[in-house]
Amino acid sequence: MNKAQRILIAGDPHGDFDAVHKAAPADAVIFLGDQMPKGTLTEELGPVLAAKSWFLLGNHDSDAPGFIVGHMGEMWRRNLNGRVVNFDGLRIAGLGGVFRGRVWNPGQGSTPEMLKFRTREDMREHTPKRQHFLEGVPLKHWTSIFPEDFEALVAQGPADVLVCHEAPECHKHGFAAIGDLARALGVKTIVHGHHHVSSIGTIDGGITVYGVGRGGLLRGGVFSGQRPGARGVPGTPVTDA
């Protein structure tokens, strides 16, 4: 079994973790965002699974204060955002959250140099205290992508795999900025969630892109319970079996 086959990547659970609990054992589990735990993420997963799980935040994880709080405690150390982590020789970079216009929306032509808020601290300092959540940025922006996240990843590169909530340019709702980050990191694989339909595509740089559908699973390039899609075709959907 190769390194990638020992890692299970889970698409947006939206509060339903049954698929992960029923999956064959893995050395590590990575959640791509929108966990939306009903209690704490540790309670949802159980102590054994939680101890080997990592996560990114998705846009819906800031829909309610409890979703963010549910990721706190010991699990917060397993937040992959802005980090490159070595999984037994496989270097995985993590980018959580989504692009939002008030911070940075590459689809609208903004660049990091043009932005008012490059970092979360910049936003916090220029936001009334009554809007702060847990003494940080406003609740919604706990799941926003900031330029500092890109900067942190590039500083820690290179990497083998980029896991993210947003999609790169091969998806009709994706962003070329994600592809640019992947190329800067030297990765050959991107795995994203967010769009709820499993897909396989490619982007410039010889990078294979896997989109993992809502509640779906990916292990070693194979979708659990789903028929394989055509490789090398941008945005090719993978139909649920």
Give the bridge partners for 86, in sequence order: 91
Per-residue model confidence as pLDDT tens for the chain (241 residues): 567 779 999 999 999 999 999 999 999 999 999 999 999 999 999 999 999 999 999 999 999 999 999 999 999 999 999 999 999 999 999 999 999 989 998 876 666 666 789 999 999 999 999 999 999 999 999 999 999 999 999 999 999 999 999 999 999 999 999 999 999 999 999 999 999 999 999 999 999 999 999 999 999 888 874 433 433 333 344 433 2
pLDDT of residue 62: 98
Give me 1's structure tokens.
Answer: 């079994």
Q: How far apart are CA 209 and CA 170, in angstroms?
A: 8
Place of tokens 């967010």: 194
Domains and CATH numbers, the chain: 4-237 (3.60.21.10)
List the Cα angle 91/205/231 in 5-degree steps. 90
For residues 191 and 168, is the Cβ–Cβ distance under 8 A?
Answer: no
Q: How far apart are CA 211 and CA 227, in angstroms?
A: 14
Q: How far apart are CA 11 and CA 195, in angstroms?
A: 9
Kind of pairing between the strands at 90-95 and 217-219: unpaired
Q: How far apart are CA 182 and CA 157, in angstroms?
A: 10
Kind of pairing between the strands at 207-211 and 189-192: parallel
DSSP annotation of 7: E
Q: How far apart are CA 209 and CA 188, in angstroms?
A: 9
pTM: 0.92
Please provide the distance, in angstroms rounded to a whole number, between the alpha carbons at the two ends of the chain: 25
- Closest among 136, 195, 172 to 12, alpha carbons compared: 195
C-alpha dihedral, 44 to 48 to 51 to 53, nearest 10°: -60
Buried b (16+ CB within 10 A) or exposed e, 48-86: ebbebbbbbbbbbbbeeeebbebbeeebeebbbbbbbbe
pLDDT of residue 223: 85
Give the bridge partners for 7, in sequence order: 28
